[in-house]
Chain A
Amino acid sequence: MFYQTRLRTITLILALGFLAVYASFGSYFAREIVIEITILAILAISLDFCAGFGGMVSLCHGAIMGISAYAFTIMSVKLGLPSVPSAMIGLMAAVVFSGLVGWVTARTSGIFFIMATLAFGQMAYTFFFKSRWLGGDDGMGGIDRFNLSWLGVDMNDALVFALFGVAVLLLVYVIAAILLRSGFGRILSGIHSNENRMQAVGINTANHKAMAMAASGLMAGIAGILAAQHTLYISPELLIWTVSGEVLLVVILGGIGTLIGPVVGAIMLVMLKHELSNYTDYWHMVVGMVLIFAVLAGGRGIFGQIEYWLITRHSPKTPHLPPAKEKDLA
């Protein structure tokens, strides 16, 4: 069940603040890192939405992001449509794909669901990899960023784009929070808790889960648009299973089911990656070991564990975010 507690709001403000400051006062390289973090964080929020709150642990979110990026690029580069409508179509493609995956897998759960998403993600990857029209594994370039000159800013400036990313991250967080606090989101959490009982009180859980995947896909699609506009170039690499694996790690590392945890996880992972890439070529091994360790250590993630300690200090009987007591902000 999702609650926007004081601790979470403080963490959100700190995280976004850190990113904005780091981009503003850091080097060009810092801005690149911030953009990378925001894209990963948005993707991680989208995954936490369906996995942490809906129990649907997907291994195809990288592919969803990639599909949005490709659709956007096809529309804007290949067909010459302006950026904003192209982006809308990109998002729609992500929503349709993830909604379909959600619908097809709705009657399965747990391990079947995970395996199926892995398969469908790989299917998407293979499709783009083999498509000569879309550049195959060479990918496509020539992408333009949104034109915000009417605001007096130049999106081609790394700082502007980085701050734009941070703003979009905040927007996605708010969208996710609103959805999770709504009837739709509460029922989703209910399905995660006890799908059978949810059916018994009259919810078509298969449809609900499909819609949740579609909503998650929308947010992942936003990450895809940003990713395409960041590097101004896309390739099937976006859809490789390792990307989906990394975003799952980010969610676990930060704290699954906390919504802000994944943002923290994204910051930590990207910073770690850039530190370590100076020392090692074997980043995958690090990802794998961190993932294994995070699970063996209890699976709550860094933010999740901190939150847990703080809550159980107060009231051991209800190690759960007290709904009525904490100020439900906004």
Chain B
Amino acid sequence: MLEVKHLSKDFGGITVIRDLSFTVNAGERRVILGPNGAGKTTLFHLLTGVEKASSGSISFAGKNISKMNAVERARVGIARSYQKNNLFEHLTIRENLMLAAAAATGKSRWFFRDVINQADMKTRIEETAEQVALTDQLDLMVSAVSYGNRRQLEVGLALATKPALLLMDEPTSGVGPAMIDTFHQLLETLPRDITILIIEHDMDLAFSIADRITVLNFGEKVFEGTPEDTRGNPTVRQIYLGGGDGTYGATNDHA
């Protein structure tokens, strides 16, 4: 589904991503792990077209998307949820989802027909709200709901576009343990026609939902494998603990 080949990114002398290659299969749940500064968020910027790679190529569903800009990549089915909430402020949750849904279903060229009460929009909004467990909060303002709910909406916006590839940047960043369970539920119930890449710091969540894990350090891929293999790999443990016993502490730092 997603093929990254020899991807590199320099920012004026500093190499943030170095010769990165990996493949993600359709429907897979791939977790990206790595300490701070490993380049995880930059990788997402490169995948979504927000930043242009210095070298290398990206293929999605068989097509080379390296030259596409962010808008074009969104149109081919790549969606992203952000580490820091990037919502439509001063609007309700329903309106937020409506905007994402309208954008994805070509409603931006509808000049005369009403969109909010339109049938397939309503369905999509309600379905997405259910997926992210926000059905009861649909008509509340974004500013009036809890941080956890806003994180749910953050994912909801991406899901409302019915993407083929979903990139989730630390979805549980800053939320409490109850909310982590909600996200766990969410991730388990997402249909397999969406391929998912997740940057996560919560190790329990990461290990329980991942099909495979790719570990980055200093912009390079240092390991890739199943959760068990990852847990047992000495290099990975070295990165996180400086050698140790295989348990992990949660960090609140950002990628």
Q: Decide if A and B touch, CB cutoff 8 A.
A: yes
Chain A contacts to B: CB under 8 angstroms? 1, 178-179, 181-184, 186-187, 189-190, 193-194, 196-205, 208, 317-320, 322-324, 328
Q: Choose one: A186, A204, A318; the contact of B116 (CB below 8 Å).
A: A186
- The answer on a CB contact under 8 Å between B113 and A204 is no
Contacts of A198 in B (CB 8 A): 99, 103
Q: How many residues of chain B have a CB within 8 Å of chain A?
A: 41
| Residues of chain A lying within 8 A (CB to CB) of residue B112 | 178-179, 182
- In the assembled complex, the Cα of A182 lies from the Cα of B109 at a distance in Å of 9
B107: chain A residues within 8 A (beta carbon): 183-184, 186-187
Known: A182-B115, A184-B108. A204 touches B71 (CB 8 A): yes
- Contact with B89, one of A184, A187, A193, A199 (Cβ below 8 angstroms): A193
- Given contacts A201-B104, A202-B74, A202-B103, whether A190 and B109 have CB atoms under 8 Å apart is no
CB distance from B167 to the nearest CB of A (A): 10
Contacts of B117 in A (CB 8 A): 328
Contact in complex: A181, B71 (CB < 8 Å): no
A202 touches B139 (CB 8 A): no
**Using a CB–CB distance below 8 Å, which chain B residues touch chain A?**
48, 70-71, 74-75, 79-80, 86-92, 94-95, 98-100, 102-104, 107-117, 139-141, 144, 157-158, 160-161
Q: How many Å lie between the Cα of A53 and that of B116 in the bound state?
A: 16
Residue B95 contacts which of A1, A184, A201, A204 (CB distance < 8 angstroms)? A1
- On chain A, the residues within 8 Å of B89 by CB distance are 193-194
Task: Name the distance in Å between A136's Cβ and chain B's nearest Cβ.
Answer: 39
- One of A183, A189, A196, A318 near B110 (C-beta < 8 A): A183
State whether B103 touches A181 (Cβ < 8 A).
Answer: no
Q: A201-B157, A202-B71, A318-B140 are in contact. Are A187 and B92 (CB under 8 A)?
A: no
> What residues of B have a CB within 8 angstroms of the CB of A202 in the complex?
71, 74-75, 103-104, 161
CA distance A199 to B157 in the complex (A): 12
Q: Is the CB of A199 within 8 A of B70?
A: yes
Write the chain B residue with the least CB distance to A330: B114
